[in-house]
Each structure stands twice: as structure tokens, then as C-alpha cells.
A and B are shown apart, each in its own frame.
Chain A
Amino acid sequence: MLRTLGGDVATVILGQNATPEALSALRESLGLDRPWTTQYLDWVSGLFRGDLGTSYSARFDIFEQIQSRLTVTLALVMGAVLVSSVLAYLAGTYAALHVRDRRGSLIDVIAQIGLSVPTFLSGLLLIGFGAIRLGWFPAGGYVSWTVDPAASFRSLVLPVLALATPVTAVLTRYVRSAMLDVINEDYIRTAMSKGRTRSASLVIHGTRNASITLVTVITLQIGALLTGAVVIENVFTLPGLGSMLVTAVQGREAIVVQSVAFVVLLLILGLNFAMDLAYGVLDPRIRTAGVDRS
């Protein structure tokens, strides 16, 4: 679909001043002179064989490249989900407990600001502070898990924090309202009459309720998380799917773009499925209700 308009790879590779003969020779050797329908069918049939073809200019095998980059992106997204749910749970519960005083409003203000900071700005600020000023973490790049686990972890800390910022802000507001839904329930009053403090009973009985909301909102934020990952990978020069995608767009490599897009769509389906399973674990009503749960 997109290769019909797809810019000209040959011009990008050879530059603006290439002769028409050289261009057409290159197009022929890359198979770009064939009709786009043939090229597309070729790519689709390759999908079933796990062969997505070879990049035009860098000559790498797209499938292998995606495999190695997928782990980086997944680590980034999963890390951000983990960090933001924990932070949002703490902040949201705190805000719900202090809903009528300054401390609760302070959380609201911070969440509102967190929502307004673009990830590339928080990324740059983290680089400026955590990497340059303090020197605790690298400003960019990625070390493979198999080479050096500690360095690999350190290289992911700042990107994960940057990616988690807006998601934490969104999640905090939902956790807060989920906790507020629970706070007036009879069972909280019962727990308090049995001698628990208000905060203890809310933490014990509200957590499950809030966790269901968390899963729902995280599912809705998956698209946003992947979008953020694309940006963050470019800020921190991480070798993930996002930076691969942007490089491919700049080089007009339609085949790479559509391959990565395809894998990302699969990833979304997979993550949605994982979230559906998480629902079943958290809410027994869903597990027992079987297929019909609308």
C-alpha cells in the first residue's frame, strides 16, 4: 500500500546527482523495477517463511534485525509499565487518602505537569541531570543483557524513567478515582470498625479494585507506550524497533517500514492478549463468567 507512493530508495542511496542509467541499474539489481504488486506479494509470501527480505541500502536481513531489536523495545516498554504502575499506585493511593487537603492537590498538580511534558523533553532533562551532571547513567546507547547485565540495566534506567513519566501521570489519576470509589464502601467501614486505620483498610481492600482499573488503562495506553518508545529510542540512541523505524523512514525503505509496522501490530495484539489474561487473574468474576463478559 505504501510502496505505491514510497519515495525513491535509489535516489536516496546514490544521491541527487546520480545519472539516470546508474539509478535504473540499481533499481534493477534491487528488484525495484518490477510492478509493485509483484513486490508486495513477494513480501507477503515471505511473511509466512519468516523471511522479510533484505534492507536496500544497509543490506541487513530485516527479520534478524527485528529479532535483536525487539528485545530492547520490549524491555523498555515492560520496564515503563512496571515503574509507572508502582509509582501510580503509590501516588494515587496517597492522593485518595489526602483528597481534601493540600497534599492531595499537590499530587494532582504534579500529575497535570507530568501529562504536559513531552517524553523527549523529560528524556533530555534526565540526560542533562542523571548522565551529565551526576554521571550515574550513560547518556545513550545500549549494552546487551548477555554481555554485561549491570551495564545493560544502567543503560535502560533513564529511558524507562522518561517513558514512564506521562504514563504514570495518566495512571495516577485513574488509581486515585478507583480508590475514591472504594473509600465510601461498607466494607471499608467494617474494616475500620474492626480496628484498622483508614489507610490500612483502603490499602488492603482498595488494591484489587485499583489494580483492575490499572490493567484497563494500561491496555488503553499500549499504543501511547509504543509511540513513546519510538521517540525515546531516538533520544537515547537505543537500538530498538523505534529507531529502526525512523531510520527506515528517513532512507525511504518502504520494505523495512512495513515489516516493522507489521511486527508492531503483532506486538499490540500480543500485549492486549496478555492484559486480557491479567484481568482473569485479578477479577474472579471475569474468569467464571466465561466467554460472555460484556
Chain B
Amino acid sequence: MTPLPSEPTGTLAETVDSVPSRLKMAVHGFRQAPIAFRFGGILVIAFIAVAFTSIWWTPHDPIAIAVEKRLAPPGWPHLLGTDALGRDVLSQLMEGARNSLLIGGLATIAAMVPGVAVGLLAASAARNKRLLLSRAADVGVALPGILIALVLATAIGPSNLTSVLAIIAWFTPVVVRLTIGPARQVLALPFVEAARAYGRGRSFIALRHVLPNIGPLLIVQASAMFAAAILIEAALSYLGVGAPRPTPSWGRMLNESQSLIEIAPTLVAFPGLAIMGAVLGFNLLGDGLRVLLDPRQEAHTVAV
């Protein structure tokens, strides 16, 4: 590990030159971080890299059926073997990563934006309106998300859209509830009072003063939710409510190989490990961020 230059040496120009680049700073910060956070970060980066690689390249065609090569054990040319229809497991896992990333990312962002907006609105609203909104959020949090997902699937049929909509409906009330509390804490601070005395409106204060102050906390939540979203997507596609065939998805790979657990245990192990790794990565990343940014906050966790 190269130590950061701490004392200015030589002339002024040399000092300016020796100021570390942003990249170097980032690498240095990463090396100083707790080991769990680093491990999580590596898992997440690997997950994203695999997902993007699968857009341009996979070792084989993930949906090409070759019955004569079915249930091949891990080896060459199929590194992780083939499934019951002779499809390449590694290629399917790579495309599955893309599916998870897409749905998890879309759903998390689409739940965070309205959730934070409503939460900020509720926090800065008058008492009655605030209580009404937070009670509504409480009811939303109490509903089991799977119920929303299954009812949606009956209404519009199983698809990726169903998964995304279900996760949005599941998470938005959680985000609302997690925003209201901290936002109200910030609103009680003296500098907000000063802004109010200066004549700033509610929405200005919410966006310019409250949002930046609860930002770190929201980033931590987003990471935890990403992890939960990947789990939920896998659970939904396991139940046959998520992405329809032949789109590769980790949950359905598990479902299809469930009955083969005795003959080909690797078919269960690889998608299982993939889900675990991705979820663990985002969980650790969120936990590490929480420790770094806001040690007192307990992350909201969703068990699936």
C-alpha cells in the first residue's frame, strides 16, 4: 500500500502535482474501509461486471437447447455444466445476473423517488396530513409484499413488469416511513428555522436543506433494498410469477432444477450461490456504508 503524500515537499508546483487523483483517493479510502465493506464492494462490482458482459458476450447461447448434451457435469466446453435441456449454465447465470440487476435497479429507483417525495411532503406538512400519510404508510408496510405480487400476477399475468411493479408497491411505503422520521429530525434543527425566518418556502427547505442531510441514510437504504429486490425477484420467478420463459432468471433456474437435486446437485448450487453472492454483496455494502456514514441507524431488512 502506497501511503498518501502528507507533507508538502519541494516547490509549490511540485506540491500541486503530487495531490492524489480522485481515483487514487477512492482506492485509498477503499483500502481503509472495514473488510466486510470491501468484500461487499467486490461482490457488487463483480455482479455488475458480469451483468454488463452478458450484453455483448456469453460463452454459449444461453437459450440454445441441445438435448444430446443435457446434464453435462462442470467441465469443458461448458464450464458450469448444462441443464436438463442441454442449455449452458454459465451463460444462463450471466444473463440471469442482467435480469436481476435490471429489475432490482429499476424497482429500487422507482420506489425510492416517490417514497422520498411523499416522505418529505408528509414530514413538512401540517400535523393531520402528516399523521394520515404515515398511517397509510404503516398499513402499506404491514401488507405482505407477496400478496401484492400474486394479485398483480393474476391481473396482468407473469412478467418482468409484474415483478417490478410488485417490488415498487412493496417498497414505496417502507421508504415513506423511513424518510419521515429523519426528515422531521432535520426540520427541527436551528438552520432550518433560520431558513424559514429568511422566508424560504417548504419545498425549498425540503429539497435544499432536508434532502442533502438525509441523503447518506437514503443511500444505505437503497443498498439494502437492492439486496431485497434481488431476493424478491428470484422468489417471484421461482414461483413462476416473474420473467416468462425463455428469459434466463436465477429463481426459475432453481425451480427447474429442484427435482434434479439428487442427480445434478450443481444445477441447484450455482444459481443458489449466485443469488446469495449478489444479495450478500449489497447487504454488506449497505452495512458498511451505514457504519461509515451513519453509525446509529439500524438498516431496515426484508427477509424473504
Binding site for B on A (CB under 8 A): 2, 4-7, 112-113, 115-121, 124-125, 127-128, 132, 166-167, 169-170, 173-174, 177, 220-228, 230-231, 234-235, 245-246, 248-250, 252-254, 257-258, 261, 264-265, 268, 272
Determine if B146 and A128 form an interchain contact, defined as CB atoms under 8 angstroms apart: no
With A5-B156, A227-B144, A246-B239 in contact, do A128 and B261 touch (Cβ < 8 Å)?
yes
Residue numbers in B under 8 Å from A2 (CB-CB): 151, 154-155
Q: Which 8 A-B pairs have the closest CB atoms?
A: A166-B303, A116-B280, A227-B146, A223-B144, A116-B279, A5-B155, A226-B144, A121-B272
Contacts of B254 in A (CB 8 A): 120-121, 124
Contact A224 B155 (CB under 8 A): no
A257 touching B151 in the complex, CB below 8 Å, given contacts A112-B283, A128-B268 = yes
Contact with A along B218-248 (1 / 0, CB 8 A): 0000000001000100110011110000000
Q: Are B142 and A223 in contact, with the CB atoms below 8 A?
A: yes
The answer for the CA separation of A128 and B287 in the assembled complex, in Å, is 31
B135 to A: closest C-beta gap in Å: 12
- Is B142 in contact with A224, judged by CB distance below 8 angstroms? no
Which B residue's beta carbon lies closest to that of A246? B239
Question: Residues of B at under 8 Å CB distance from A?
Answer: 36, 141-147, 150-151, 153-157, 227, 231, 234-235, 238-241, 251, 254, 258, 261-262, 265, 268, 272, 275-276, 279-280, 283-284, 287, 298, 301-304
B150 touches A231 (CB 8 A): no
Extra inter-chain contacts (13) besides given A121-B272, A174-B298, A221-B303, CB under 8 Å = A2-B151, A2-B155, A5-B156, A115-B303, A116-B227, A127-B261, A128-B262, A224-B144, A224-B304, A227-B304, A249-B241, A257-B154, A261-B147
Are A124 and B275 neighbours in the complex by a CB distance under 8 Å? no
A249 & B303 in contact (Cβ 8 Å cutoff): no
CA of A276 to CA of B261, assembled, Å: 43
Most buried by A among B154, B155, B304: B154
A220→B301 CA distance, assembly (Å): 10
* B99, chain A: closest CB distance, angstroms: 15
Beta-carbon contact of B235 and A231 below 8 Å: yes
Counting chain B CB atoms within 10 Å of each CB, the highest count among A4, A225, A246, A248 belongs to A246
Question: Contact at B150–A112, with CB atoms within 8 Å?
Answer: no
Residue of B nearest to A268 (CB): B142
| Count, A-B residue pairs, CB within 8 A | 139
In the bound complex, CA of A157 to CA of B288 (Å): 35
Per DSSP, chain A at the interface is helix
B194 CB, min distance to chain A CBs, angstroms:
30
Pairwise interchain contact A272-B261, C-beta atoms closer than 8 A? no
A26 shortest CB reach to chain B, Å? 19
Shortest beta-carbon distance from B180 to chain A in Å: 15
Contact residues in A for B265 (Cβ distance below 8 Å): 128
Complex CA gap A292/B269 in Å reads 52
Shortest CB distance A244–B (Å):
11
Q: Which chain A residues border B153 with CB–CB below 8 Å?
A: 249
Measured CA separation A202–B146 after assembly (Å): 39
CB of A174, distance to nearest CB on chain B (Å)? 8
Q: How far is the CB of A29 from chain B (nearest CB, A)?
A: 22
Q: Which of B151, B156, B251 has the most CB of A within 10 A?
A: B151
For residue B166, give the distance in angstroms from its CB to the closest CB of chain A. Answer: 11
Is the pair B157, A264 in contact by a Cβ cutoff of 8 Å?
Answer: no
Residues from chain B with a CB closer than 8 A to the CB of A253 are: 154
Instruction: Give every chain B residue within 8 A of A222 (Cβ-Cβ).
Output: 142, 144
By beta carbon, the residue of chain A nearest B284 is: A112
Cβ–Cβ < 8 Å partners of B268 in chain A: 121, 124, 128
Inter-chain contacts of A221 with B (CB < 8 A): 303
- In the complex, the chain B residue whose C-beta lies closest to that of A261 is B147
A167 touches B144 (CB 8 A): no
Known: A7-B157, A249-B153. A116 touches B146 (CB 8 A): no
| Whole-angstrom distance between the Cβ of B138 and the nearest chain A Cβ | 10
- For residue B156, which residues in chain A have a CB less than 8 angstroms away from its CB? 5
B145 with A223: CB separation less than 8 A: yes
When distances are taken between beta carbons in the complex, the residues of chain B under 8 Å from A249 are 150, 153-154, 241
Q: For the complex, what is the distance from the CA of A169 to the CA of B303, rounded to whole Å? A: 9
Q: List B contacts of A231 (CB < 8 A).
A: 146, 235, 238-239, 304
Contact of A166 with B227 in the complex, beta carbons under 8 Å: no
Contacts of B240 in A (CB 8 A): 246, 250
Contact A121 B142 (CB under 8 A): no
20 contacts between A and B (CB under 8 A): A118-B276, A118-B279, A120-B235, A121-B272, A124-B254, A125-B272, A166-B303, A166-B304, A177-B298, A222-B142, A222-B144, A223-B145, A227-B146, A227-B304, A228-B303, A230-B146, A234-B239, A246-B240, A264-B144, A265-B147
Q: Which of A115, A121, A224 interacts with B283 by CB under 8 Å?
A: A115
- Which chain A residues lie closer than 8 Å to B234 at the CB level? 118, 120
CB B258 to nearest CB in A, in angstroms, measures 6
- In the docked arrangement, what's the CA distance between A76 and B186, Å? 43
Q: A245 contacts which chain B residues (CB < 8 A)?
A: 147, 150
